[in-house]
């Protein structure tokens, strides 16, 4: 069992550094590679490596000053599980998603990066691998994906897709498909894996259909 297994919400730090990045989505048990080059976020990585190794991925929303826009109410915390420093001073890191969190308060301290107080209890089920019901129709999801890829001139590794466990399949597609920030947030906040799968298929079908006839 890995040393970073978290069984209960209280196993996770209540105050975490956050990396606001619109369009980026992290989900439990999924991995997100990041290329870190801004000085404040290089500082953040240095600090979390020496501490909890936890970073919260979160998007922004309208409001607040341009240099620090308001944060969405829900993000996902990940553990820094891979780290490489490049010759030009960048950090190439990988976050492994652990649990979503509600951002209850932004903490204003001495760090150049942003921090929040995180509440995990509403998403405690994230700490246990999820599954889809027996009625899960993989073929319907794959058909929606094929139409989405074709309409966007994208390719996919079908051998990996067809053999992936349901949670891995749904979360990976939610993370990598080029949806906009609002759509990514909807996928993040879906209350269950089944609801995320339904939202994912709806978004893919809408994108595949294109604009309604008569729209500009």
Nearest to 74 by CA among 191, 166, 206: 191
Domain ranges of the chain: 9-127, 138-209
pLDDT tens sequence across 82-95: 999 999 999 999 99
Structure tokens that stand for 156 in this block: 């996919």
From the centroid of its chain, how far is CA 193?
14
Nearest to 4 by CA among 78, 59, 72: 78
Question: Residue 139: pLDDT above 70?
Answer: yes
pLDDT at 17: 98
Query: What CA–CA distance (Å, rounded) separates 53 from 28?
Result: 16
Please tell me the pTM assigned to this model. Answer: 0.92
Question: What's the pLDDT band for 109 if we cut at 50, 70, 90?
Answer: confident
Domain range 9-127, CATH class: mainly beta
Burial class from Cβ neighbours inside 10 Å (0-12, 13-18, 19+) for residue 157 reads: exposed
pLDDT at 3: 52
List, in sequence order, every beta strand (DSSP E) within the chain: 15-20, 31-36, 54-58, 74-85, 91-107, 114-119
Q: Do residues 136 and 110 make contact, with C-beta atoms less than 8 angstroms apart? A: no
Q: Do residues 170 and 197 make contact, with C-beta atoms less than 8 angstroms apart? A: yes
Question: Residue 211: pLDDT above 70?
Answer: no
**Angstrom distances, CA of residue 150 to CA of 67, 145, 159, 163:** 38, 8, 17, 21
pLDDT at 4: 66
């Amino acid at each position: 069992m890995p040393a970073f297994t978290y069984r209960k919400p209280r196993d996770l730090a209540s105050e975490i550094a956050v990396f606001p990045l619109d369009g980026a989505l992290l989900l439990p048990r999924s991995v997100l590679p990041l290329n870190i080059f801004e000085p404040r976020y290089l500082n953040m990585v240095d600090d979390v490596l020496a501490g909890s190794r936890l970073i919260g991925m979160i998007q922004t929303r309208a409001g607040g000053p341009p240099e620090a826009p308001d944060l969405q109410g829900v993000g996902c915390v990940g553990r820094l599980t891979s780290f490489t420093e490049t010759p030009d001073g960048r950090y190439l890191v990988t976050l492994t998603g652990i649990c979503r969190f509600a951002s209850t308060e932004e903490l204003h301290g001495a760090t150049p990066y942003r921090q929040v107080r995180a509440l995990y209890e509403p998403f405690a089920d994230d700490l246990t691998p999820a599954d889809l019901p027996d009625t899960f129709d993989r073929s319907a999801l794959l058909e929606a994906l094929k139409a989405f890829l074709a309409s966007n001139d994208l390719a996919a590794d079908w051998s990996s897709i067809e053999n992936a466990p349901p949670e891995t399949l749904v979360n990976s597609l939610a993370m990598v498909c080029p949806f906009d920030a609002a759509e990514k947030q909807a996928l993040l906040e879906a209350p269950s894996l089944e609801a995320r799968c339904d939202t994912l298929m709806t978004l893919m079908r809408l994108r595949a259909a294109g604009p309604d006839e008569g729209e500009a």
